[in-house]
Structure 1
Amino acid sequence: METTFGDVWREVLTTQPEPEQWIIIGAAVLALAAVLLNPVWRVARNVVTIAHEGGHALVALLSGRQLTAIRLHSDTSGVTVSRGKPTGIGMILTVFAGYVASSVIGLLGIVVLMTDHITALLWLSLVVLAAMLLMIRNLYGVLSVVATGAVVFGISWFTPTEVQAAFAYLFIWFLLFAGVRPVFELQRQRIRQPSPHSDADQLARLTGLPGTLWVVVFALVNLAVTGLGVWMLLLN
């Protein structure tokens, strides 16, 4: 039978039952392992880079800046280029957004999951990835976003509800947990190879506050958001 757009739309908006608690906890354990285990982290960190640069891009647009390019690199670094006033609150918020984006997106995903709109969450992720793809300006970045989108689409289109739910919780847990480790990696990099181009050091120039203080702020925000997310899903 032919599938119409209306059928797809209804499927996306339909609520799905919350998975059993052991699946939610199991997904959390797997997500935490993906953050802590270096071989897995080296691959999974590409998703964090997408979230990081997406955070820069979104806040740049919301603050009235003109977004010109996003680049993602194979070493899991990235850069987002925007035009506008080089100082001021808009620029500060744009630079600040990157290192807190993953955890904040994870928390927002938890809010959606708590409404039981699991398929809608996956398709919303696809919409965001598609919008971001329009601004990618290098081949590796295109491949990274397309590969991530292909995985999300494949799960949402070809698998039963139970698998979608398990994947959605794994995906959101990972984004929530994965915001913390890059902050510590940032500080190690600042100690070993100081660079004026890191987000913390850019914020130091924009605000006059030490870069290390901004690293601490990144860590505190992400730890607080992660704690709130864990409480919402497991302890509430």
Structure 2
Amino acid sequence: MLQEVLTRVGSSQPVPSVGAQLGLLAVALLLVVPRPLWRVSRMLVTIVHESGHAVAAVLTGRRLSGIRLHSDTSGLTVSRGRPRGPGMVATLLAGYPAAAVFGVATAAVLGTGRAVAFLWVVLALLALMLLQVRNFYGLLVLLVVGGTLGAATWLLPETYLSWLAHLIAWVMLLAAPRPVVELVATGRHPSSDAGQLARLTAVPERLWQLLFLLVTTAGTVVGAALMLPLAEWYAGWVG
């Protein structure tokens, strides 16, 4: 089994055509825009959001205490360390941009044809996150997401896995700005990442919200350009 996994991870898969990418983009829009399906997609964004907090906390020398995922699609990452200072600021900053950064990084990796390797890396990250979850609902969510992704990675043909990986990238890229838009639309939230950053830095909460919106929107644009190199496609078609 290990040899089979290593073989799959080391293989490369064809990148979907522009037509297939547009189809995957349409599916991703269906998963992100309608509110009933958005609750499912938002939970995936929350997983990445809380992972961003956790990674930033560890990299800045803070001690990770645990992660919680809630049924209303919110989450909470708790770390120990100085209550103020660069480490705490970086930890709070890392949440909202995480989905956009993940989407751009995924788009760059998938362009090399390493879709299966990407999916196995995601599975490994979910397993690490599973060790830090501190509530039953969060545990259940990660088991369902990880189990579904693991089964797909093991059972599906490589072409379908490439489509799945690209669909995940599209969902992250399209979904990244939406929680920020919702945050901006509803006004001030002292307990939000932006609200806490405002207390730590004296920079107004609204400016932190706008910064999150700028970063996530830019990530969507950059990621889409990586996923859909239309200029190259058009040049090849004309030639």
Summarize deviations over 1:195-231 as a string: whole Å, max 9, x none.
4211110010111000010000000001111111111
Please name the residue that 1:93 is paired with: 90
Aligned to 2:76: 79
Stretches of structure 2 lacking an aligned partner (at least 5 in a row): 233-239
Q: CA deviation at 1:43?
A: 1.8
Give a deviation string over 1:118-154, Cα, whole Å, max 9, x none.
Answer: 1001000000000000000000000111111112112
Q: Distance in 1 between matches of 2:2 and 2:47?
A: 29
Cα distance in 2, alignment partners of residues 214 and 220 from structure 1: 10
Assess if the C-alpha contact under 8 Å between 2:41 and 2:175 holds in 1: no
Letter matched to residue 76 of structure 1: T
Name structure 1 gaps, 5 residues minimum.
none
Deviations 1:166-203 (A, max 9, x none): 111111110111110000111233x3xx5421111001
Aligned match of 2:155: 158
Q: Give the equivalent residue in structure 1 for 2:141.
A: 144
Give the alignment of 1:70-219 within 5 angstroms.
70-189=67-186, 191=187, 194-219=188-213
Once the two structures are aligned, what percentage of the paired residues are identical? 44
1:89, distance to aligned residue in structure 2 (A)? 1.2
Shifted more, 148-157 versus 121-130: the winner is 148-157
- Deviation, 1:78, is 0.7
Query: In the alignment, what sits opposite 1:63?
Result: 60
Which stretches of structure 1, 4 residues or more, deviate above 4 A after TM superposition?
none
* DSSP 3-state at the match of 2:112: coil
- Rounded Cα–Cα distance in structure 2 between residues aligned with 1:32 and 1:210: 32
Q: Name the CA distance, whole Å, in 1 between partners of 2:32 and 2:5.
A: 34
Q: How does the TM-score come out when normalised to structure 2?
A: 0.93
Kindly state the Cα deviation for residue 70 of structure 1 after the two structures are TM-superposed. Answer: 0.3
Task: Kindly provide the amino acid, as one letter, of the partner of residue 177 in structure 2.
Answer: V
Would the aligned equivalents of 1:155 and 1:163 in 2 still touch at CA under 8 Å? Answer: no
2:78 aligned counterpart, secondary structure: strand
Q: The residue matched to 1:156 in structure 2 has which SS?
A: helix
TM-score by length of 1: 0.94
Distance change (3 Å), C-alpha of 1:16 and 1:135: same
How far is the alpha carbon of 1:232 from its aligned partner? 1.4
Report the CA distance between 1:27 and its aligned residue: 0.9
Please tell me the root mean square deviation across aligned C-alpha atoms, in Å.
1.1
Distance in structure 1 (CA, Å) of the matches to 2:114 and 2:69: 30
Contact map agreement 2:53 2:95 (CA 8 A) in 1: yes
Instruction: Report SS of the residue matched to 1:99.
Output: coil
1:15 counterpart = 2:12: yes
